[in-house]
Structure 1
Amino acid sequence: MNRRPDDNQQTYLELLRERMDVQAVLILPESDMLVPFREGTFYIVVVNHSHVDTSIRRMRIKKQVIVEQQISRWQLEKGAVNGLDERLAMMLAKAEILWDKEGYMKHMKQRLSRLPEFLQKKNICREYSRLLRFFHETKERLQQGMALDAYHSSIQSLDSWARLIVYEAGENPQAAIWSQVKQLDYSVYKLYEELSFNAEALEKRIELLLLAMEFWIISHMKNSVRFLIEVMEKRNGPWSLQDLMNHPLIQDAEIEVPLIVDKMVQRSLIQEVACSNHQNGDEEICFILLG
């Protein structure tokens, strides 16, 4: 149940309404785990400033604590195109609108709930690369007899897998992500459940997870790396690894590019070619798309 403003807090809200720069006011549920403080009513205040850092203020009004987080329209507009900070996106999705000038925030919440196709592909590629990394870590640590370390890596791989499933559905990950995944892909949810609660030996549970994960990684690869493929399609010639990693669309995307490129070569999605000769006779290995 939401914290409704009482008589004392109405004074605070009236002051916000009188401010020319305030576009909307939202309130978070009192039991929400995203709230950084256990005490106080949490408000999100949307302002018209061109650029405002997301800042939090804690105030006391007539012995009652109010927590206020400001966010600018500029940040929201940018987030609708490029994606918001994940925690902030979750908060806005859960927050109830108390006051909304010209219906701006109602429309913005709808925009933020839908992932732009470009952002969806980028997020899928990022989580796929993380899934690959943690899959290999899990396998290697299990082979080395480090069962608990392998278990830790397997949980991280499942987290990336879960987020990938959510992004494929065009949604943003929620705080209770496994409840979300249960509705979207029950088979992946069941693997997480089996790893956590099955009575078999830990090593056996991890081995079974790795088998299922490897099959999924192979069968979903082309779709999962679509973002990287479309970047490479922008050039007719070969790409060096450094060219790819420095590309403006990839540079800040947190994608494990070398790992994905290696896997794409193995699956014949791209091919290695020599693209430059150095004075000492060394050849740099570059990559071109295949069919």
Structure 2
Amino acid sequence: MEGILRPIYQERASHPNTLGVLTIEKNQHSIPTTDTFDTVLLIIVNEAEQPLFVKHYTYEGKKAALHIITEKKLREWILLGSNRRIFDWLYNGKVVFDRNEFLAQLKEEMKEFPFYGRKIKMGLEFAKLIRRYMDGKAFFENQHYLDAYNHVIHSLHHLARLSVIENGFHPEVTVWNQVKQIEPEIYKLYVELVNSDETMEKRLELLFLASEFLIYSRTKAGITHLIEVLEEREFWAFNDMITHEELVEYSVDLGILLEYLIDRGFINVKNVETKGQGVFHRYYFVAKKLS
């Protein structure tokens, strides 16, 4: 492979804009992180017209994928967890070019997992967890058990990822293997939901009871980043939150997260009169500090 594809990445490596190049080989006995391609070439650049450029090749009856990604986009993936394959690529890929030890330093940074980045990732996972949990509960109460089951499975996955992050690790593709070692209680809950002989209704009922405590026990860790940002102002309009640079990634789930935190006493609401009689602007503020 390397001899055939080398000219492709060598041309890129010679460019001063290129920070690092890795090759990732398909492994028949591991999780398919290459999307069925035999080889993935990952090229990280300082800047580009588009943050991600992908090109596919065929060679000797095999397939290769070239991914050219900017450092900014790569760090976004790492922070938001929006492409979990990237962790496998960076950890297990073969480094064939590394300008000024960029990749070596990046791997070390990922290994250390700075607490600031951890807080943001926990916040985003917690928001998704609450969204799925609350939607699942609503479906359950309306006796839509299969829809409730789908949302609960996703909520447990977010709970698992949150647990992994809280323990200082990046959630990988095999997140349940990580959770089995780190938080066996969550793993057991997941297995019981999937494998139980109880009726779907009974399984969900028991899970909602058990997961209520697990979610609440992680609330403070999950909302630390959000609360720290909200403490910067006395009051917030909702639109000011979803357009804030540090909160924009919460936007889809922020509304339901706020309602959850209002119910739990972490956030309060301030009503301000409008020109319409009996209609008020709704503002939000931190009700109590986490420490």
Indicate the TM-score class for this superposition, using the shorter chain for normalisation. 0.7 to 0.9
Aligned to 2:228: 230
Contact 1:80 1:111 in 2 (8 A): no
Deviation for aligned residue 1:146:
2.2
Contact 1:51 1:74 in 2 (8 A): no
Aligned to 1:24: 20
Instruction: Give the alignment's TM-score, normalised by structure 1.
Output: 0.83
- Whether 2:186 is the aligned partner of 1:188: answer yes
Aligned to 2:171: 173
- Whether 2:30 is the aligned partner of 1:34: answer no
- Whether 2:123 is the aligned partner of 1:122: answer no
Residue 149 to residue 27, structure 1, CA distance change in 2 (3 Å): same
Residue 138 to residue 34, structure 1, CA distance change in 2 (3 Å): same
Residue 102 to residue 265, structure 1, CA distance change in 2 (3 Å): closer
Hey, what's the Cα distance between the residues in 2 that align with 1:46 and 1:246?
A: 29
Aligned to 2:205: 207
SS of 1:24's equivalent in the other structure is strand
Give a deviation string over 1:73-103, Cα, whole Å, max 9, x none: 4544x54995574235323233221332332
Larger-gyration structure (1/2): 1
Deviation for aligned residue 1:164:
1.4
Q: Which runs of structure 2 are paired with 1:88-107 in the superposition (5 Å)?
A: 89-90=86-87, 91-107=89-105
- Whether 2:12 is the aligned partner of 1:45: answer no
SS of 1:249's equivalent in the other structure is coil
Is there any run of 5+ residues in structure 2 with no aligned partner, and where?
A: none
Q: Which one is further off, 97-106 or 204-213?
A: 97-106
Give a deviation string over 1:124-155, Cα, whole Å, max 9, x none: 22222222222222223223222222211211
SS of 1:126's equivalent in the other structure is helix
Give a deviation string over 1:8-35, Cα, whole Å, max 9, x none: 4455565555555444321213125221
2:131 aligns with one of 119, 128, 133: 133
Residue 15 to residue 244, structure 1, CA distance change in 2 (3 Å): closer
Contact 2:128 2:158 in 1 (8 A): yes
Deviation for aligned residue 1:255:
5.5
2:64 aligns with one of 61, 66, 70: 66
Contact 2:54 2:67 in 1 (8 A): yes
1:86 aligns with one of 75, 79, 83: 83
Contact 1:125 1:255 in 2 (8 A): no
Contact 2:22 2:42 in 1 (8 A): yes
1:101 alignment partner AA:
R
1:149 alignment partner AA:
D
SS of 1:27's equivalent in the other structure is strand
Contact 1:51 1:75 in 2 (8 A): no
Q: Which one is further off, 16-25 or 214-223?
A: 16-25
Deviation for aligned residue 1:70:
1.5
Is there any run of 5+ residues in structure 1 with no aligned partner, and where?
A: none
SS of 1:28's equivalent in the other structure is strand
Hey, what's the Cα distance between the residues in 2 that align with 1:248 and 1:14?
A: 37
Contact 2:18 2:44 in 1 (8 A): yes
Percentage of pairs with the same residue: 24
SS of 1:242's equivalent in the other structure is helix
Hey, what's the Cα distance between the residues in 1 that align with 2:78 and 2:186?
A: 29
Hey, what's the Cα distance between the residues in 2 that align with 1:250 and 1:84?
A: 16
